[in-house]
């Protein structure tokens, strides 16, 4: 299977979810090298846009993501990574998921 890295200057978004709960943990990016490292090591690697380099999830915190499965969307330009989150948190803030803030109050005020 060929992932289309050309559409976004060599990077594709990666949605990462916990395999036991299907909870979305984070959104990251991969280039071909990060994908190859992920497949080779079975530990998820991303491309850090801020550091401009490959980074293994958990390289400093120890909270790694063991790869369970990778799926690619119909356009071959987005990856869904199913992982075992080791260490409890995927977010650099210490939260289990990067998606811990809710807009419920704002939605009610502005749209109802």
pTM reported for the whole predicted model: 0.88
Q: What domains are defined for the chain?
A: 12-111 (3.10.20.810)
Dihedral pair phi/psi, residue 4, rounded to 5°: -85, 90
Report pLDDT digits (tens) over 39-95.
999 999 999 999 999 999 988 889 999 999 999 999 999 999 999 999 888 988 888
Q: Is the pLDDT of residue 111 over 70?
A: no
- Position 39 scores a pLDDT of 97
Pick 104 or 95 by higher pLDDT: 95
CB atoms within 10 A of CB 32: 13
Whether the CB-CB separation of 70 and 81 falls below 8 Å is answered with: yes
């Amino acid at each position: 299977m060929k992932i289309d890295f050309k559409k976004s200057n060599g990077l594709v978004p990666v949605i990462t979810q916990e395999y036991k709960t299907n909870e979305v943990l984070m959104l990251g990016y991969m280039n071909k090298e990060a994908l190859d490292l992920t497949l080779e090591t079975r530990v998820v690697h991303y491309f850090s846009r801020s550091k401009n380099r490959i980074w293994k999830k958990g390289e400093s915190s120890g909270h790694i993501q063991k790869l369970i499965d990778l799926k690619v969307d119909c356009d071959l330009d987005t990856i869904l990574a199913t992982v075992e989150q080791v260490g409890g948190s995927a977010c650099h803030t210490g939260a289990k998921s990067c998606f811990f803030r809710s807009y419920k109050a704002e939605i009610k005020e502005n749209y109802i």
